């Protein structure tokens, strides 16, 4: 797995500047504009030129996953997440040798659900979104973790506590 960095929206580590976010010591950069919260930058180990940037959204860039095929010099239009009326937010990407998984959460007015989509072709195409867990109480943001063989959703909810859920049909 190749997780480069993670930080909270609004948090600016010393090696990142906005409006152009540059990863220190790297020839890779993310230029998505001002007022954008980049949640994760993930390099794909099976395609070294591919970079995924999951973004919570902002004035100049909507929420979604942006894909670069040129080591982060340019990025695609965002892959929209979930149902727009359910405020899809907090995308999290995990890339591995066999594929890529993205998780995000949505709120439908009554419950918060975590959804995933998978790609087996470096983000060219994605599976249909699938809800894998939900709660009617407060919750943390979804995270994806791996032990090198299995990918899991790591999610804390007030009602159910900590959950570590194996992702079925993972890449």
Can you say whether residue 62 is alpha, beta or left, with left for phi > 0 and alpha for psi between -120 and 50 degrees?
A: beta
Render pLDDT for 100-130 as a digit per residue (tens, 0 to 9).
Answer: 899 999 999 999 999 999 999 888 889 999 9
Does residue 16 form part of some domain? yes
Between CA 38 and CA 25 the distance in angstroms is 18
Residue at 159 is within a domain: yes
Residue 171 within a domain: no
Helix H or strand E encompassing 55: strand 51-58
pLDDT of residue 71: 79
Domain assignment present for residue 30? The answer is yes
Mean pLDDT score, 38-61? 72
Residue at 92 is within a domain: yes
Tell me how many domains the chain contains: 1
Instruction: Return the pLDDT at 115.
Output: 95
Most confident region among 12-16, 89-93, 101-105 by mean pLDDT: 101-105
Q: Give backbone dihedrals phi and psi of 99, rounded to 5 degrees, phi first.
A: 155, -170
- The answer to whether position 127 is within a domain reads yes
70 contacts 26 by C-beta, under 8 angstroms: no
State both tokens at 120.
């087996």
Domain hosting residue 51, numbered range: 3-166
* pLDDT, tens digit, 9 for 90 and up, residues 67-77: 888 877 777 87
Lowest mean pLDDT among 6-10, 82-86, 92-96, 157-161: 6-10
* Structural contact between residues 45 and 95, judged by C-beta atoms closer than 8 angstroms: yes
The predicted structure's pLDDT at residue 15: 33
State how far the Cα of 121 lies from the Cα of 105, in Å rounded to an integer. 23
């Amino acid at each position: 797995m190749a997780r480069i960095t993670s930080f909270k929206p609004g948090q600016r580590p010393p090696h990142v500047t906005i409006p152009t976010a540059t990863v220190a010591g790297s020839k890779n950069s993310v230029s998505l504009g001002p007022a954008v919260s980049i949640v994760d930058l993930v390099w794909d180990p099976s395609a070294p030129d591919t970079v995924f940037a999951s973004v919570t959204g902002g004035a100049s860039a909507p929420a979604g996953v942006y894909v670069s095929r040129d080591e982060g010099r340019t990025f695609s239009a965002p892959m929209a997440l979930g149902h727009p009326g359910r405020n899809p937010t907090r995308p999290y990407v995990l890339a591995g040798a066999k594929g890529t998984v993205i998780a995000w959460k949505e709120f439908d007015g009554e419950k918060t659900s975590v959804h995933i989509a998978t790609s087996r072709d470096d983000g060219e195409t994605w599976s249909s979104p699938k809800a894998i867990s939900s709660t009617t109480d407060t919750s943390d943001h979804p995270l994806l973790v791996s032990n090198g063989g299995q990918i899991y959703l790591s999610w804390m909810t007030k009602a159910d506590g900590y959950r570590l859920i194996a992702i079925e049909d993972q890449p």
